[in-house]
Structure 1
Amino acid sequence: MNKIVAIMAGSVWKVLVQPGDLVEEGRDVIILESMKMEIPITADFSGTVKEVKVNEGDFVNEEELLIEME
């Protein structure tokens, strides 16, 4: 199972995928907001979204699990 984690601490501004979505490598999957900047989180691999572990508005820490993919 592949995992996508937060690259920095911040708030989840937008979740761009749902379970079952096919994701290509390089696609933005989540937008974090930190210090009034929007930071896109991209998939480092292709696959299917198994589970989204966060909701819009959640605060996450660096390296926190955001999405599990198959």
Structure 2
Amino acid sequence: MTEIKASMAGSVWKLTVGTGEKVEPDQDIVILESMKMEIPIATETGGTVKELKVTEGDFVNEADVIAIIE
């Protein structure tokens, strides 16, 4: 199990995967918006998205868990 965490504070602009989807290493799963910049957050490992902890429009702080990959 791998927890994907926010690298900085910002708003969830877009989810690029859904629960149950298979992902590859380095695949973007969420795009955050912070200071008018779009910051992609990628998974480090491949697997299946077990749970998304955020929805579009949510605000996250640095190190908040965004998703869980199994």
Identify whether the pair has TM-score above 0.5, normalized to the shorter chain.
yes
Equivalenced residues, count: 70
Q: Does 1:8 align with 2:8?
A: yes
Specify every segment of 5 or more residues in structure 2 that has no aligned partner in the other structure, as ranges: none
- Tell me the alpha carbon deviations over residues 20-42 of structure 1, each in whole angstroms, 9 at most, x when there is no partner: 10000011100000000000001
Q: Which runs of 4+ in 1 moved over 4 A?
A: none
RMSD: 0.5
Identity %: 59
Whole-Å separation in 1 of the counterparts to 2:3 and 2:47: 11
TM-score (norm 2): 0.98
Shift of residue 46 of structure 1?
Answer: 0.5
Could you state the TM-score of these two structures normalised by the residue count of structure 1?
Answer: 0.98
